[in-house]
């Protein structure tokens, strides 16, 4: 989700969204990624930890579907 710690025009909306997720059993992993100048906070449910390495592993697995070798850039 968009990080509620990043200065933005929709900071109130971001805080409300985070509170919604927290009320519904999610927790902040303290793992952040920035795309196109928007910082995203990674939230999760359940026990355990989630690290940047976990994120990188997931992205690596998904890349085979996002950027298949048989698709050529035009």
| Residue 2: band (very low, low, confident or very high) from pLDDT cuts 50, 70, 90 | very high
pLDDT digit string, tens, across residues 17-65: 999 999 999 999 999 999 889 999 999 999 999 999 999 999 888 888 8
Q: State the virtual CA torsion across 62, 68, 69, 74 in degrees, nearest 10.
A: -130
Based on its alpha-carbon atoms, the radius of gyration of the chain, rounded to whole angstroms, reads 15
Please state whether the predicted TM-score (pTM) of the whole model is above 0.85: no
* Two structure tokens written together for 2: 């968009």
Q: Residue 8 burial (CB < 10 Å; 0-12/13-18/19+)?
A: middle
| Residue 74: band (very low, low, confident or very high) from pLDDT cuts 50, 70, 90 | very low
């Amino acid at each position: 989700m968009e990080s509620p710690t990043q200065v933005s025009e929709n900071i109130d909306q971001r805080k409300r969204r985070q509170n919604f997720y927290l009320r519904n059993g999610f927790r902040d992993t303290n793992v952040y990624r920035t795309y196109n100048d928007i910082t995203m906070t990674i939230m999760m449910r359940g026990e355990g930890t989630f690290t940047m390495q976990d994120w990188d592993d997931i992205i690596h697995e998904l890349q085979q579907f996002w950027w298949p070798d048989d698709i050529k850039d035009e």
